[in-house]
Structure 1
Amino acid sequence: MTRPCTWRKSSFSGGGEGNACLEVAHLDTRIAVRDSKAPDRATLAFPAASFTRFLEALKEADR
Structure 2
Amino acid sequence: MTLTDSIRVLGKDHPNTLASRNNLAGTRQKAEAVQHGSTATSATEAALQKPSTAD
**Fold-level similarity (TM above 0.5):** no
Smaller-chain TM-score range?
A: 0.3 to 0.5
TM-score under structure 1 normalisation? 0.31
Q: Structure 2 length normalisation: TM-score?
A: 0.35
Structure with the larger helix share: 2
Q: Which has the higher contact order (CA 8 A, sep 6+)?
A: 1
